[in-house]
């Protein structure tokens, strides 16, 4: 029995929609798959809805990036959450905080580039 518990869709950095992931998994005769997009659950509804009547186990998930903290030796660390409650307000708040943090980081990078290089 083959499974894949770490798939990314077009909701983050994947090249296939959640529906396409399911179709490919069925074609490959996988028994179970999990959608684990980076810091988003935007593809989970489509994933679960499309696969509801298919003969494959579908697991809603997420891959959450944690803060880059070299002092604590946390560099490029990600946490995979499987069988998540994608309707959870707490989870959605965490995701929204991640997005805000990334936007602030990008703004700081742009400011630094402007200040240092014009």
The pTM of the full predicted model, rounded to 2 decimals, is 0.82
Q: Which candidate, 18, 16, 13, 58, places its Cα nearest to that of 34?
A: 58
Alpha carbon distance 82, 90 (integer Å): 16
Q: In which band, very low, low, confident or very high, does the pLDDT at 8 lie, cut at 50, 70 and 90? A: very high
Residues 44-90: tens digit of each pLDDT:
999 999 999 999 999 999 998 876 666 666 667 789 999 999 999 99
Does 110 reside within a domain?
A: no
Does 20 reside within a domain?
A: yes
Does 21 reside within a domain?
A: yes
Domain holding 10, by residue range, is 3-85
CATH number at 24 reads: 3.20.20.140
List residues bridging with 61 in a β-sheet. 82
Average pLDDT of 104-109?
86
Does 52 reside within a domain?
A: yes
Total domain count for the chain?
Answer: 1
Sheet with 57-65, side-by-side order of all strands: 3-7, 32-35, 57-65, 78-82
CB 15, CB 41: distance < 8 Å: no
State the pLDDT at residue 50. Answer: 95
Tell me the percentage of the chain whose pLDDT exceeds 70.
92
Does 65 reside within a domain?
A: yes
Does 40 reside within a domain?
A: yes
């Amino acid at each position: 029995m083959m499974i894949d518990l770490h798939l990314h869709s077009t909701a983050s950095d994947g090249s296939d929609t959640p529906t396409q992931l399911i179709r490919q998994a069925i074609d490959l005769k996988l028994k179970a798959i999990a959608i684990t997009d980076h810091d988003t659950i935007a593809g989970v509804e489509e994933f679960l809805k499309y696969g509801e009547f298919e003969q494959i186990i579908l697991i809603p998930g997420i891959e959450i990036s944690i803060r880059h903290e070299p002092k604590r030796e946390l560099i490029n660390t990600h946490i995979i959450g499987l069988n998540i409650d994608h309707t959870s307000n707490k989870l959605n708040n965490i995701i929204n905080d991640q997005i805000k943090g990334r936007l602030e980081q990008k703004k700081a990078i742009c400011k630094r580039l402007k200040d240092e290089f014009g």
